[in-house]
Structure 1
Amino acid sequence: MRRCNHPTCNTLISFNETYCDKHKPYVNDKYNDVRRRNDPEYLRFYKSRQWQRMREIVLMENDYICRSCGRQAQMVDHIIPTKVDWSKRLEKENLQPLCYECHNRKTKREQKEVPHIKARGR
């Protein structure tokens, strides 16, 4: 066990997690704000009805289970990132349910592997 990474939190969590349940949404919202701040097209897409519907379909069809670790999924991830191929953004075959931790780990790995994928913009 270890402490949540949030500066004021002393909640104990397992070693494979970064934040407690209380702080996961806060950290994820902050992360998304940074990613989307300077790209209106990107922001519009994630607020669109098309994306919201597709996201819900993918989560429901997979029983809200993270494809990577088997825990509860809160996010739908683009297997091929939108920054690599924008045309695949609504293809169900390119979407997978992930928990916050697995999604953030995958995103960091992609940013290292593909130089033009940065924390913001397409």
Structure 2
Amino acid sequence: MSKPKKLIFKNGKRVLVDFDEVSRSEYDKQYNRRRAVEKPDYLKFYHSTQWQKVRAEAMTRDLDLCVRCGNKGYLVDHIVPSEDDWSNRYDVDNLETLCKKCHQLKTKREWTKRHKGVQRAMKVHVISGYPGSGMASYVASKVDTSHDLVFDYDLLMSSLNGNLIESIYSDNDNQSNNQDKLSNIKSRLHQSNVDIYEYVELIYEMILRKLRTERTFNNVWILRTFPDERLKNLLVTTGYDVEYLRLDTTREECTRRLKTVGRYTDSMSTTMDKIDRLDDEGLFDDYKLIKTKKRKK
């Protein structure tokens, strides 16, 4: 005997399905009924005037488009789920417009991470130093590539402006120890593009939002030339184990290194001047000085 059928709406059309099949709309109704009992604050929040106002603000900002795929956006979602950070539920900077498909994929990833992911005792390392001080090399010697997160401004800039790709594939026919070629590669890796700066900052701001509730990594390494009050204020409230490190490579040594690879410019000198000024103002007082090996000249 065949199963009885029922008529439901599926993808905007009326279709016959097996009687025991649960449709999306039925699932949503069951989910909302369960949430009304278990989490009544959620329903009050999503029906509040304040939420409707901030939701409309986010959709206007995103031009009613899904920020992930560019298709028509229908839903406004919390980047850091409100379940993880309830106090941040009205922050428009923590909202993004999504289409239904992208929202479903994000929700699935969040569920998997919450229910099947590993919670780790995460430590945050904030690394600072003069340009050319060797911050990336220091982190590379410490990082666990399987369970660590690294934010390196220079490397991210290089990947977005194409210099990283160019460096990997240039001189592909002669991967020798030719010092001139290595110097050229290092120089390209640190070329900046002012048009891309905004995108690097957006990624950094996204990391800051996620760090509010993150427990997935063993270590998070953040390479910052200058102290950042936003980061410092955030880390004070998260309860993470945090250390601030500063490489002891001198300004004179960093200048020599930068000139060797053709990276020393007026802007580098200005950056170093700012670091010295912030140091005089005591903004590096919380940083532990790390001794680095001196390179042979």
Instruction: Give the direction of change, closer, same or farther, for the CA distance of 1:87–1:36 in structure 2 (3 Å limit).
Output: same
Counterpart CA distance in 1 for 2:102 and 2:27 is 12
- RMSD between aligned alpha carbons? 2.9
Structure 1, gaps ≥5 residues long: 1-6, 10-18, 117-122
Please list, as runs of the form range in 1=range in 2, the aligned pairs for 1:24-43 lying within 5 A after superposition: 26=25, 29-30=28-29, 33=32, 36-38=35-37, 39-43=39-43
The one-letter amino acid paired with 1:20 is N
Q: Aligned residue for 1:81? A: 81
More strand by share: 2
8 Å Cα contact 1:64/1:97 also seen in 2: yes
Counterpart CA distance in 2 for 1:104 and 1:41 is 23
Provide Cα deviations, 1:45-81, integer angstroms capped at 9, x if missing partner.
Answer: 0000000000011001111000111111111010000
Q: Aligned residue for 1:46? A: 46
SS of structure 2 residue aligned to 1:37: helix
Counterpart CA distance in 2 for 1:99 and 1:90 is 20
Q: Aligned residue for 2:240? A: none
TM-score norm. by structure 2 comes to: 0.30
Is 1:102 the counterpart of 2:93? The answer is no
> Across the two proteins, how many residue pairs are aligned to each other?
102
8 Å Cα contact 1:78/1:89 also seen in 2: yes
Counterpart CA distance in 1 for 2:99 and 2:66 is 5
Provide Cα deviations, 1:83-114, integer angstroms capped at 9, x if missing partner.
Answer: 10101101111100001111111011101101
Larger Rg: 2
Q: Aligned residue for 2:91? A: 91
Counterpart CA distance in 1 for 2:29 and 2:96 is 22
TM-score norm. by structure 1 comes to: 0.69
| Identity %, equivalent residues | 38
**Runs of 4+ more than 6 Å apart:** none
Counterpart CA distance in 2 for 1:34 and 1:51 is 20
8 Å Cα contact 1:28/1:100 also seen in 2: no
Counterpart CA distance in 1 for 2:93 and 2:13 is 32
Counterpart CA distance in 2 for 1:74 and 1:26 is 16
Counterpart CA distance in 1 for 2:34 and 2:75 is 15
Q: Aligned residue for 1:20? A: 11
Counterpart CA distance in 1 for 2:73 and 2:30 is 17
